[in-house]
Structure 1
Amino acid sequence: MRPITVAALSLSALSLAACSTAIEAVKGPELAPIGYPAALVPVEQAYLPEPTSASANSLWRTGARSFFGDQRARRVGDILTVAIDINDRAQTQNATQRSRSNSASGGVTHFFGLENSLGRAFPGGFDPANMIGTEGEVTANGSGSVNRSERVNLTVAAVVTAVMPNGNLVIQGRQEVRTNREVRELTVAGIVRPEDISSANTIRHSQIAEARISYGGRGDISRMQATPAAQSLVERFSPF
């Protein structure tokens, strides 16, 4: 009974792994969760309680901001602007050439006294001194090149979802724009230092640690540009 249970568990694990790989092949790769360190689980959206109002004869209100105070985001629920300006270009070329050759030979001087009689068994004759001979040669040539260029220039508002013990801020922002039957999605998440936020309450994407930036869409255009699901599965699992 136990071997059957182990086999069933193994088959279930393989099925789940294959299902996960198939889903990734169809939907595309997912972004990794934000980490600080990398083992930190994703932070959920936080909501602030409604502040209590002060009495009418008080000079201050709970949650009020001073006109001359720092207006930069520093608390959970505050909003800041993220400026995304990505202009990456990468070009890589490599070539590999390998070759190897070897040869070996061997003979037998004494073989139970039959070394001279073996020649009658072979039509072409037999030389005991050159009984064994091997030769081998291996040649491999390979080359590859990568030429990539990316350009993204956008701005998105993000919300502070958590304040870490050292004062760093965990931010997350999402923006959706719908045009006809196409929805464009922009998401940004990461960890920022309060000192890197400018006086205009903005920060550059290059100053975000563990940055996760995604720009894509869904709709008719994206569906027409995407590779069909069956073709993606064949290309991924084909052994040739």
Structure 2
Amino acid sequence: MRTALIVSAAALSLAACSTAVEAVRGPELAPIGYPAALVPTSQVYLPTPEEQRAARAASANSLWRVGSRTFFGDQRARRVGDILTVNINIDDRAETQNSTNRSRSNDISGGVTNLLGLENALGRAFPGGFDPANMVGMEGQANASGQGSVSRAERVNLTIAAVVTDVMANGNLVIQGRQEVRTNREVRELTVAGIVRPEDISSANTIAHTQIAEARISYGGRGDISRMQATPAAQSLVERFSPF
């Protein structure tokens, strides 16, 4: 238990230190590396020495070299490590408007003309006046009205190179790409991931974002401007958990 607390405290201190350094120096770009989130842990990326020697060896009386990728063949991505271009062109608009109006009213009354002669005694008990014909009376009314509207417009036109990180059993390709651009003290981040069919990849080795299944596209940034535009953490907590 004590060890866990020490590790947690160390992690929090490192996170706070990283945040402070970023606030002073500005955001840093992430190191270049192979996309790891969707890559199988058992995947081998580099060929063995035997495969390298076989690739350099040429067959007798042949223009084809063993291990060559292609001659006049298809250059589209189809294996782990291949790169393809993703064209992101999002131009969505949505507008919804709803109006609800509901009303209900009820009126119930009842009386007793004779009650073993006790109706007169009840009249004496209520000197302000008593009418046996109107002993019970109830009224109710309920009104509800609601109105809501949604208007949304999104437009993103970007291009990013993605890497094939896995080939599924049915031949579909799992892709993932990430791009970072730093301008002064602001970093713009673009990520894309999903599953594509090899036959949807064009002859130019490109694919549209609408042809990516389970697409995950993120476009954002971090830095001084993004931090100033964000709501403070304490205010966000108050707004989220406030019952009023």
Which category of TM-score, normalised to the shorter sequence, fits these structures? Answer: 0.7 to 0.9
Moved more, 216-225 or 102-111: 102-111
Corresponding residue number in structure 2 for 1:58: 58
1:74 equivalent in alignment to 2:78: yes
1:194 equivalent in alignment to 2:198: yes
Q: Is the 8 A contact 1:53 1:61 kept in 2?
A: no
- Equivalent in 44, 48, 68 of residue 45 of structure 2: 48
Deviation track 1:106-157 (CA, whole Å, cap 9, x = no partner) reads 2234445422210111132111221110111111121111111111110111
Q: 1:145 corresponds to which letter in structure 2? A: S
Deviation track 1:5-24 (CA, whole Å, cap 9, x = no partner) reads xxxxxxxxxxxxxxxxxxxx
Corresponding residue number in structure 2 for 1:7: none
Q: Which has the larger Rg?
A: 2
Corresponding residue number in structure 1 for 2:17: none
> RMSD across aligned C-alpha pairs, in angstroms?
1.7
TM-score by length of 2: 0.76
Q: 1:53 corresponds to which letter in structure 2? A: Q
Matched position secondary structure for 2:170: coil
Matched position secondary structure for 1:120: helix
> Which consecutive unaligned segments of at least 5 residues does structure 1 have?
1-41
Q: Is the 8 A contact 1:80 1:157 kept in 2?
A: yes
In 1, distance between residues paired with 2:237 and 2:114? 62
Cα deviation for residue 67 of structure 1 reads 3.0
Cα deviation for residue 186 of structure 1 reads 0.5
Q: 1:159 corresponds to which letter in structure 2? A: V
> Which consecutive unaligned segments of at least 5 residues does structure 2 have?
1-36, 60-64
How many residues are treated as equivalent by the alignment?
198
In 2, distance between residues paired with 1:142 and 1:197? 48
Q: Is the 8 A contact 1:83 1:204 kept in 2?
A: yes
Cα deviation for residue 47 of structure 1 reads 4.6
Q: Map of 1:1-240 to 2, 5 A cutoff?
A: 43-44=38-39, 46-51=43-48, 52-55=51-54, 57-59=57-59, 60-62=65-67, 64-240=68-244
TM-score by length of 1: 0.77
In 1, distance between residues paired with 2:226 and 2:44? 34
In 2, distance between residues paired with 1:195 and 1:67? 20
Q: Is the 8 A contact 1:47 1:77 kept in 2?
A: no
Deviation track 1:189-235 (CA, whole Å, cap 9, x = no partner) reads 11100000000100000000111100001100100111111111111
In 2, distance between residues paired with 1:223 and 1:70? 46
